[in-house]
Amino acid sequence: MSGRIAGAAGVAALALAAACSRNPKPVAMAQPAPPSADSVLRAQMHRDSLLAMARADSLARAQKAETHADSVRSEVMRETVDSSKDVNNTGLNLSDAAVMAERVHFDYNKSDLQAADVQLLGQKLAILQAHPQLAVQVAGNCDERGSDEYNMALGERRAASAKRWLAAHGIADSRVTIISYGKERPLDAGHDEEAWAKNRRDDFVVTRAVQ
């Protein structure tokens, strides 16, 4: 009896092992539904809208920079026409007028003042302090490299550096105005480092003379 039981148990064990050794049938995974034509169209329209907005913004910035540059060119042309009328009408003696007209220069792509330029600003400061009615305009300029838009901003930072220094030493804000000419008013028309170094500068123009 016990032999028959053992034999039955062995047969059951073999059947179970055989069942476990079979590979289970793979379960079919549901495939995602393809996007509808309507959703594809909406996505494409959204991308097109974003691209159009980016192009419009870029065009607006470029047109603004070009308009500013055109205005600067017009002013430069007027100054060129009137250059023959340029005389020392500052009310200063010739020595002080020459100091006020001296330029501050900058390193490439920089707007911070160098030691030699700080010394020159010190001389201008003494003249401005001696003549409280005197007022000046500081014009920032750049060399020819870079876009119109970038150089307009860089020229303004250069002019602002000189104004900030003078204001920090007691010159009233109202006595110093700033403007940027970007790269539109080069002193040297060359295309090398010597020319570029001359063109990276601040010009100083007396706008209210000594009475």
pLDDT in tens, 167-208: 999 999 999 999 999 999 999 999 999 999 999 999 999 999
Residues facing residue 180 across a β-bridge:
140
In a domain, 88, yes or no: yes
In a domain, 75, yes or no: no
- Nearest alpha carbon to residue 175 among 203, 206, 201: 206
Higher per-residue confidence, 211 vs 14: 211
In a domain, 15, yes or no: no
Total Cβ atoms within 10 A of residue 162: 26
pLDDT per position as a tens digit, 60-102: 776 665 665 556 555 554 554 444 344 578 899 999 999 999 9
Mean pLDDT over 132-144 rounds to 97
- Domain range for residue 192? 84-208
Give the separation between CA 7 and CA 70, rounded to whole angstroms: 106
Give the separation between CA 122 and CA 78, rounded to whole angstroms: 31
In a domain, 21, yes or no: no
Percent of the chain with pLDDT over 70: 70
Q: Write the DSSP assignment of 26-58 as a string of letters.
A: PPPPPPPPPPPHHHHHHHHHHHHHHHHHHHHHH
Count: domains in the chain: 1
pTM: 0.61
In a domain, 1, yes or no: no
In a domain, 190, yes or no: yes
In a domain, 176, yes or no: yes
In a domain, 97, yes or no: yes
Residue 203: predicted pLDDT: 98
The CATH number for 171's domain is: 3.30.1330.60
pLDDT per position as a tens digit, 18-36: 555 555 555 556 566 667 7
Task: Dihedral sign for Cα 78, 84, 89, 92, please.
Answer: positive
Q: SS3 for 103?
A: coil
Mean pLDDT over 120-136 rounds to 97
> Does residue 126 surpass a pLDDT of 80?
yes
Percent of the chain with pLDDT over 90: 56
Give the separation between CA 145 and CA 198, rounded to whole angstroms: 13
Residue 24: predicted pLDDT: 54
Task: Dihedral sign for Cα 142, 145, 149, 150, please.
Answer: negative
Q: What count of residues does the chain have?
A: 211
